[in-house]
């Protein structure tokens, strides 16, 4: 059985659950410890005690730890990528890509340790100096989802540590394997005891304990809107209120205009809607297509979709792995039935598939005759299900694209500079993609959205400092000779 990592020790837990491969439910990756309330409290205490020294450690020390983590992740990419694909179900190239991204994120934040800067300014008062500095917050609770088992933890853990905070990391229950490996790597990077703690198990137990603890200064969360709102309420209801950062769902549009290169549009749509089994908050599930290209686009999409191989995530040649588990598969199937009940036309896919091994295989689904008011066009499905929505022209397409409770990512396929520029200025989302998939972002620039998708400061890149530090303004008076 694997263990939790608390106060610098690998700690046994009373409970453990099997980690099941969604490509082959007979394949159990191992039994993973479930932390108890007491374990969680011990981890929080340890992180709290470790904060004083870590927050005062030299930036060289922090750089060296993060750099060691990055180097080891990158050197073990094959092993970690295979494990990730086995436990989450994204294809092996996607798994390997995600591990590389995690390594690069640690590399980036190792560099950020050395680039921490403040400002020294003149005051409006004679003889007074003003300094603006950034300080760490304290213990940070990190609650992560299952769909990016190593990259999302990396983009929360790395900045938290880089800026001098200590960490309680609670991964999603479905993907403890990648979290455990990451913790092993962090544990022997030179990070002092208590600075980083891994507590695996249920959100309803560990997550709740983190939300209740007054020793946790801030929570960074990625997951569903429902849980996100609950996290935010708990953070603002506590005394004192705690800082909170939420990354939640998306219902991301991809506009395809008459003048688009059809091959580019189809590849962007297939990638956005179906890769990683549609289980990305940046996935596009609303393809908003103008009248002149609509029929050709649907025909080309349908043809391209029949060539997509849905199979075991680790098999060579697989384009789309399984859905992550039975619960998510049931949700996908419920929405597919709902779409039909709402009057949309299922052009292709949406069927359970049998493969050599028992797994959660679903063929990618494409709906047409979709109205943007339908529930399948408004609610996040989080599966390989895309809808095609007609628009008369660019103006109407933009209006439909913005007509959503979410605002994470928004894409357009066009050869027109005029429309591309207008879309970049007027699409209501945190990330805009022109002739690119809505998903698949760089690791060194801000990530996040608007409206129901995100709350609080951005993640990733230099902007991560806004969440993981607090700003101090110091005034000093020196008598002028």
Ligand X SMILES: O=C(O)CCC(=O)C(=O)O
Ligand Y SMILES: NC(=O)C1=CN([C@@H]2O[C@H](COP(=O)(O)OP(=O)(O)OC[C@H]3O[C@@H](n4cnc5c(N)ncnc54)[C@H](OP(=O)(O)O)[C@@H]3O)[C@@H](O)[C@H]2O)C=CC1
Given the structure tokens 């005029």, which residue do they identify? Answer: 418
CA end-to-end span of the chain, whole Å? Answer: 70
- Closest distance of CB 203 from ligand X, Å: 16
What stretch of H or E contains 122? strand 119-122
- Closest distance of CB 320 from ligand X, Å: 16
- Closest distance of CB 237 from ligand Y, Å: 13
* Site string (218-237) toward ligand Y, x via CB under 6 A: ----xxx--x--xx------
Of 235, 268, 281, 413, the active-site residue reads: 281
Residue 9 designated active-site: no
Under the binding rule (CB under 6 A), the answer on residue 458 touching ligand X is no
Q: How far apart are CA 158 and CA 106, in angstroms?
A: 6
**367, 388 contact by CB (below 8 A):** yes
Specify the long-range contacts of residues 344-350, CB closer than 8 Å, at least 24 apart: 344/368, 344/369, 344/370, 344/371, 344/374, 344/376, 344/387, 345/369, 347/298, 347/302, 348/302, 348/305, 348/306, 349/305, 349/384, 350/385
Interface with ligand X by CB under 6 A: which range of 4-12, 38-46, 279-287, 323-331? 279-287
- For ligand X, the binding residue among 63, 280, 286, 294 (CB under 6 A) is 280
Under the binding rule (CB under 6 A), the answer on residue 380 touching ligand Y is yes
Under the binding rule (CB under 6 A), the answer on residue 203 touching ligand Y is yes
CA-based nearest residue to 200, from 368, 20, 32, 430: 32
Q: Which residue, 37 or 299, has its beta carbon nearer to ligand Y?
A: 37
166 interacts with, out of ligand X, ligand Y, none, CB within 5 to 8 A per kind: none
Under the binding rule (CB under 6 A), the answer on residue 441 touching ligand Y is no
Instruction: Tell me which residues in 23-82 interact with ligand X (CB under 6 A).
Output: none
The count of chain residues that interact with ligand X, using the rule CB under 6 A, is 10
Q: Give the chain's largest Cα–Cα span.
A: 85
Pairing of strands 243-247, 345-348: unpaired
Instruction: Tell me which residues in 319-338 interact with ligand Y (CB under 6 A).
Output: 328, 331
Instruction: Tell me which residues in 169-228 interact with ligand X (CB under 6 A).
Output: 222
Under the binding rule (CB under 6 A), the answer on residue 328 touching ligand X is no
227 interacts with, out of ligand X, ligand Y, none, CB within 5 to 8 A per kind: ligand Y
At what angle are helices 151-162 and 92-115 packed, to 10 degrees? 10
Q: Which residue, 164 or 207, has its beta carbon nearer to ligand Y?
A: 207
Q: How far apart are CA 260 and CA 243, in angstroms?
A: 43
Length of the chain: 481
Instruction: Tell me which residues in 119-158 interact with ligand X (CB under 6 A).
Output: 147-148, 152
Under the binding rule (CB under 6 A), the answer on residue 146 touching ligand Y is yes
CA-based nearest residue to 52, from 239, 194, 188: 194
**393, 290 contact by CB (below 8 A):** yes
CA-based nearest residue to 97, from 285, 250, 264, 276: 276
Residue 281 designated active-site: yes
Under the binding rule (CB under 6 A), the answer on residue 394 touching ligand Y is no
- Closest distance of CB 407 from ligand Y, Å: 13
Under the binding rule (CB under 6 A), the answer on residue 282 touching ligand X is yes
Q: Is 272 exposed, middle or buried (0-12, 13-18, 19+ CB in 10 A)?
A: buried
- For ligand X, the binding residue among 231, 313, 441, 464 (CB under 6 A) is 441
- Closest distance of CB 190 from ligand X, Å: 28
Q: The tokens of 320 are what?
A: 């789309």
The count of chain residues that interact with ligand Y, using the rule CB under 6 A, is 28
- Closest distance of CB 349 from ligand Y, Å: 19
Active site residues: 247, 281
Query: Interface residues with ligand X (CB under 6 A)?
Result: 147-148, 152, 222, 280-282, 439-441
């Amino acid at each position: 059985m694997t263990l939790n990592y608390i106060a610098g020790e690998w700690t046994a837990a009373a409970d453990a659950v099997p980690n099941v491969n969604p490509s082959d439910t007979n394949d159990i990756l191992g039994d993973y410890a479930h932390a108890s309330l007491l374990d969680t409290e011990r981890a929080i205490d340890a992180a709290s005690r470790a904060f004083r020294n870590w927050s005062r450690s030299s930036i060289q020390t922090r750089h060296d730890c993060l750099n060691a983590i990055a180097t080891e992740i990158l050197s073990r990419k094959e092993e970690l990528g295979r494990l990730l694909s086995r436990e989450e179900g994204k294809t092996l190239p996607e798994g390997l890509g995600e591990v590389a991204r995690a390594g690069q994120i640690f590399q980036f934040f190792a560099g950020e340790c050395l680039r921490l800067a403040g400002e020294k300014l003149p005051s409006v008062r004679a003889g007074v100096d003003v300094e603006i500095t950034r300080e760490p917050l304290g213990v940070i609770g990190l609650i992560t989802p299952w769909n990016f088992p190593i990259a999302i933890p990396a983009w929360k853990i790395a900045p938290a540590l880089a800026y001098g905070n200590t960490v309680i990391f609670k991964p999603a229950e479905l993907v403890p394997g990648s979290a455990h490996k990451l913790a092993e790597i962090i544990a022997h990077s030179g990070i002092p005891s208590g600075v980083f703690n891994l507590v695996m198990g249920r959100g309803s137990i560990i997550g709740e304990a983190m939300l209740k603890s007054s020793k946790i200064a801030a929570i960074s969360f990625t997951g569903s809107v429902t849980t996100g709102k609950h996290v935010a309420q708990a953070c603002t209801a506590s005394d004192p209120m705690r800082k909170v950062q939420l990354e939640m769902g998306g219902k991301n549009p991809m506009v395809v205009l008459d003048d688009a290169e059809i091959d580019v549009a189809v590849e962007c749509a297939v990638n956005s809607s179906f890769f990683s089994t549609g289980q990305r908050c940046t996935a596009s599930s609303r393809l908003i297509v103008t009248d002149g290209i609509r029929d050709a686009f649907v025909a080309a999409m349908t043809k391209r979709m029949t060539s997509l191989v849905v199979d075991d995530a680790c098999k060579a040649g697989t384009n789309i792995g399984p859905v992550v588990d039975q619960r998510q598969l049931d949700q996908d199937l419920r929405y597919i039935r709902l779409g039909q009940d709402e009057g949309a036309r299922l052009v292709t896919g949406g069927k359970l598939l049998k493969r050599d091994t028992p797994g959660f295989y679903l063929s990618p689904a494409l709906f047409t005759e979709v109205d943007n008011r339908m529930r399948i066009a408004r609610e996040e499905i989080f599966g390989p299900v895309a809808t095609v929505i007609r628009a008369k022209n660019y103006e109407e397409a933009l209006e439909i694209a913005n007509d959503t409770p979410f605002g994470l990512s928004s894409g357009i396929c066009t050869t027109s500079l005029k429309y591309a520029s207008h879309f970049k200025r007027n699409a209501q989302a945190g990330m805009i993609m022109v002739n690119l998939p809505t998903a698949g972002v760089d690791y060194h620039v801000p990530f996040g959205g608007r409206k129901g998708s995100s709350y609080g400061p951005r993640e990733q890149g230099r902007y991560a400092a806004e969440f993981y530090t607090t700003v101090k303004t110091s005034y000093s008076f020196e008598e002028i000779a």
